[in-house]
């Protein structure tokens, strides 16, 4: 990549990376949570922050793990998303960052993730209609077909990587259909997604940023051709609707397509991965689901509460304001721990216990709230609910073959590898008996 891109990394990631390392050595809890030990197990750090109060000023941003405060900030129009680094950086470096427009990607404007109303509202409108409950219900048959095809391809009594073979495959097949993309290109998107998601973290290395930018450029080049094909012959997919709507320029179309992929794919893949690991490590909960299959929808909500696919997000004060009795100036940044809010003992009894029958599991904030609430939430719930039940019914003896390995990132928290031993296939057993 060019010198300008290195300077962009330095301004947006390199400086925050140094600040975080310095603060971590000084014992700052928030900075340590963003380091290797915190990424491996962030919950002890969240509890230390919770013990310090509902709104905690760190040497970096304000931080909250409080359910009520997180929900309030997400819904309060006095707060908005940030379009630049999430840690203050020198003005000169900010100018370098702004001089070099990156390839269209989910981490930079004009992607919806980095835009506030009214621009955000206009961008979101043509997309959300594809994710309504009625639209999701129409996709159910396709989800069931994809799930069965994937399960049929798994070797009974064999071993698979559950992330590669299942957790990522169900949602990528559906989002491809929704975007009018050819199925044979799924491998490219899985690779690009893996390379690009670290951009949503703070203080990533130059090597990770370089890989992410290269993947973003490859995705841009691909989408250039795909968008032009849809301009000539639009279909009934989301992207065609965005193109024919005429509200977004070419760059914005690409940026928001990457957001749709993230909302429709990344969250669901992480959700399925977390669910498989949690159920295999809590066999008594899996036994209860087998005895009471009507609990499966609630089990999905409990997984979302216990290990949300998106761990943390941020908001910035758009004006001088007061929050929790504290005066915040315009521009003040608050890191909102969705995972911390989901284990708030003021809302959830015994919050560190995984319980598929928890009566208020759906009070979690895993899909955010307010204007930036995840529009892929209904799709993720439907896909995960069907896929997980079908998986555990097909392979009732499935067990972990080796410890699963998490990605080394915090914002999109999910598994990189998950080796499992499938055991017997109930489907094959029933066929033989028949």
- What number of CA atoms fall less than 13 Å from residue 171's CA on the CB side? 32
Average pLDDT of the segment spanning 111-132 = 65
Q: In whole angstroms, what is the distance from residue 169 CA to residue 167 CA?
A: 6
Confidence band for 56, pLDDT divided at 50, 70 and 90: very high
pLDDT at 355 over 70: yes
Helix (H) or strand (E) holding 59: none
> What is the per-residue pLDDT across 385-406, written as a single tens digit (0 to 9) for each?
999 999 999 999 999 999 999 9
Q: Residue 366: is its pLDDT beyond 90?
A: yes
Average pLDDT over residues 36-64: 92
CB 163 within 8 A of CB 416: yes
Q: Which residue has the higher pLDDT, 121 or 271?
A: 271
In the chain, count H helices and then E strands.
Answer: 21, 12
Q: Tell me the domains of the chain and their CATH numbers.
A: 3-433 (1.10.630.10)
How much of the chain, in percent, has pLDDT values that exceed 70? 86
What is the arithmetic mean of pLDDT over 337-365? 98
- For residue 244, is the peptide bond before it cis, meaning its omega torsion is within 30 degrees of 0? no
Least confident interval from 105-109, 262-266, 325-329:
105-109
Q: Which of 140-144, 301-305, 333-337, 426-430 has the lowest mean pLDDT?
A: 426-430
Query: Can you give the pTM of this predicted structure?
Result: 0.90
Conformation bin of residue 403: beta by default, left when phi > 0, alpha when psi is -120 to 50: beta
User: Could you read off the pLDDT of 213-255 as tens digits, one per residue?
Assistant: 898 889 889 989 998 998 899 888 878 887 887 677 787 788 7
Report DSSP letters for 308-351, one per residue.
-SB-EEEEEESS-EEETTEEE-TT-EEEEEHHHHTT-TTTSSST
Q: Give the per-residue pLDDT at 102.
A: 65
Q: Residue 89: is its pLDDT beyond 70? A: no
pLDDT at 83: 47
Weakest mean pLDDT among 106-115, 289-298, 382-391:
106-115
pLDDT category, 46, cuts 50, 70, 90? Answer: very high
Report whether 96 contacts 107 (CB < 8 A).
no
């Amino acid at each position: 990549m060019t010198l300008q891109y290195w300077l962009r990394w330095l301004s947006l990631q390199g400086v925050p990376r140094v600040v975080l390392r310095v603060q971590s050595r000084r014992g700052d809890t928030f900075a340590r949570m963003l380091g290797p030990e915190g990424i491996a197990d962030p919950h002890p750090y969240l509890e230390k922050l919770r013990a310090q109060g509902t709104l905690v000023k760190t040497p970096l941003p304000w931080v909250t793990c409080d359910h009520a405060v997180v929900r309030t900030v997400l819904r309060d129009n006095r707060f908005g998303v940030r379009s630049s680094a999430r840690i203050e950086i020198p003005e000169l470096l900010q100018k370098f960052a702004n001089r070099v427009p990156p390839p269209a990607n989910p981490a930079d404007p004009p992607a919806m993730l980095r835009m506030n109303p009214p621009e955000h509202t206009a961008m979101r409108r043509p997309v959300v209609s594809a994710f309504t409950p009625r639209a999701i219900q129409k996709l159910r048959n396709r989800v069931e077909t994809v799930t069965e095809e994937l399960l049929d391809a798994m070797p009974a009594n064999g071993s698979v990587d559950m992330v590669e073979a299942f957790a990522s495959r169900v949602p990528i097949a559906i989002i491809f259909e929704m975007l009018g993309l050819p199925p044979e290109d799924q491998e490219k998107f899985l690779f690009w997604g893996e390379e690009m998601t670290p951009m949503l973290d703070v203080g990533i290395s130059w090597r990770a940023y370089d890989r992410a930018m290269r993947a973003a450029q490859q995705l841009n080049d691909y989408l250039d051709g795909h968008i032009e094909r849809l301009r000539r012959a639009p279909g009934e997919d989301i992207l065609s609707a965005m193109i024919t709507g005429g509200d977004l320029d070419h760059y914005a179309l690409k940026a928001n397509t990457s957001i749709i992929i993230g909302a429709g794919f990344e969250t669901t893949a992480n959700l399925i991965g977390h669910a498989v690991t949690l159920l295999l490590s809590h066999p008594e909960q899996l036994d209860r689901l087998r005895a009471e299959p009507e609990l499966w929808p609630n089990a999905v909500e409990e997984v979302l509460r216990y290990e949300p696919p998106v761990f943390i997000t941020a908001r910035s004060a758009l004006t001088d304001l007061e929050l929790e009795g504290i005066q915040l100036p315009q521009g003040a940044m608050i890191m909102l721990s969705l995972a911390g809010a989901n284990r708030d003992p003021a809302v959830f009894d015994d919050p560190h216990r995984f319980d598929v029958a928890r009566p208020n599991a759906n009070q979690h904030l895993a899909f955010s709230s307010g204007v930036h609430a995840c529009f892929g939430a209904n799709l993720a719930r439907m896909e995960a609910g069907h896929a997980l039940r079908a998986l555990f019914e097909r392979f009732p003896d499935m067990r972990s073959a080796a410890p699963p390995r998490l990605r080394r990132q915090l914002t999109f928290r999910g598994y990189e590898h998950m080796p499992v031993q499938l055991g017997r296939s109930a489907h094959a057993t029933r066929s033989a008996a028949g």
